[in-house]
């Protein structure tokens, strides 16, 4: 299980934690990329019931979509809740809602109740929630600003991954120890300090970026706990890559992106990472 942390905008309503990635142990978004539900894609940045309803397909009526959105907006009034999409599910009367941070929740047609957790297809032994997460968290690798990442090449560098990482995240450091055992790999590390968890991480990320040999500084700190030398701050992409991770819905670190767009959150051990590298290059 991933370590859970409470979403601040749900705190007034819920006494249990929604799952986010907060330097957590592995929860791998494996499973098919095939759709587990059919329905309506909502405008990713829209919180307007009127705007969202324009995207309604045959799966959900305009009236139903407007009702769901209005009631959820009312329930979460004053929060930063963003409804990204609404889908039907095979569970009659239950709807999937993708919200802030690519999180999946379920609600009834009146939005009177919210359910958290995994929707399981017992007949086909499939985790439908996991399958949907695999879809909504996919990233276009070709659009990543690789010039804003710390690049490490090991061996021939043929296998490629990108990682969003926090220099003070303990699981990020453990992942680096696993990567150090892998050959023939190119790693692009995007600095994504999480100030809420690690108050000094952003300053440290900037210091590492501003080193003359930033790759060596990064690996020395993450794998050998050797602090970087103090240097003057320089032009750096740290704030930008933090926002990029937020845009992708990454709620914590480490988060790994493979060239085919698949993302996996949390620590991966060497053997598991080797398998995923082989399966997810293109």
Pairing of strands 263-265, 255-257: antiparallel
CA dist list (Å): 30 to 22, 108, 263, 270, 275: 19, 27, 9, 17, 12
Q: Please indicate, yes or no, whether residues 241 and 170 belong to a single structural domain of this protein.
A: yes
Q: Kindly indicate the confidence band of residue 81, based on its pLDDT and cuts at 50, 70 and 90.
A: confident
- Kindly tell me the burial class for residue 177, based on how many C-beta atoms sit within 10 Å of its own C-beta (0-12, 13-18, 19 or more): middle
Q: Please indicate, yes or no, whether residues 225 and 180 belong to a single structural domain of this protein.
A: yes
Predicted pLDDT at 47? 44
Q: Please indicate, yes or no, whether residues 74 and 167 belong to a single structural domain of this protein.
A: no
Give the tens place of pLDDT for each residue, 132-157. 887 887 899 999 999 999 999 999 99
pTM: 0.69
Answer yes or no: is 238 within a domain.
Answer: yes
The residue segments making up the domain with residue 118 are: 39-136
pLDDT, greater one: 242 or 4: 242
Q: Kindly indicate the confidence band of residue 59, based on its pLDDT and cuts at 50, 70 and 90.
A: low
The edge-to-edge listing of strands for the beta sheet with 150-154 is 150-154, 185-191, 159-165, 255-257, 263-265
Q: Please indicate, yes or no, whether residues 84 and 188 belong to a single structural domain of this protein.
A: no
CB 52 within 8 A of CB 97: no
Q: Please indicate, yes or no, whether residues 169 and 275 belong to a single structural domain of this protein.
A: yes
CA Rg value for the chain = 20
């Amino acid at each position: 299980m991933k370590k859970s942390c409470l979403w601040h905008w749900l705190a007034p309503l819920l006494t249990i934690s929604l799952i986010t990635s907060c330097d957590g142990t592995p929860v791998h978004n494996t499973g098919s990329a095939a759709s587990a539900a059919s329905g309506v894609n909502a405008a990713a940045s829209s919180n307007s019931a009127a705007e969202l309803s324009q995207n309604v397909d045959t799966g959900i009526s305009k009236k139903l979509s407007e009702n769901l959105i209005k009631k959820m907006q009312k329930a979460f009034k004053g929060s930063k809740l963003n409804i990204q999409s609404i889908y039907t599910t095979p569970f009659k009367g239950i709807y999937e809602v993708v919200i802030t941070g690519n999180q999946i929740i379920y609600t009834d047609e009146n939005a009177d109740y919210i359910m958290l957790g995994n929707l399981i297809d017992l007949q086909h032994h499939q985790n439908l929630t996991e399958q949907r997460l695999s879809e909504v968290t996919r990233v276009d690798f070709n659009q990543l600003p690789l010039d804003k990442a710390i690049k490490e090449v090991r061996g021939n560098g043929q296998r490629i991954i990108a990682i969003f990482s926090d220099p003070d995240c303990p699981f990020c450091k453990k992942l680096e120890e696993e990567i150090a055992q892998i050959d023939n790999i190119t790693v692009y590390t995007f600095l994504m300090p999480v100030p809420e968890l690690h108050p000094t991480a952003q300053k440290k990320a900037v210091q590492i970026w501003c080193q003359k040999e930033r790759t060596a500084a990064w690996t020395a700190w993450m794998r050998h706990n050797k602090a970087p030398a103090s240097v003057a701050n320089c032009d750096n992409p740290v704030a930008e890559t933090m926002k990029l991770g937020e845009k992708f819905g990454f709620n914590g670190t480490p988060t790994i992106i493979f060239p085919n767009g698949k993302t996996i959150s949390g620590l991966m051990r060497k053997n598991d990472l080797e398998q995923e590298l082989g399966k997810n290059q293109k």
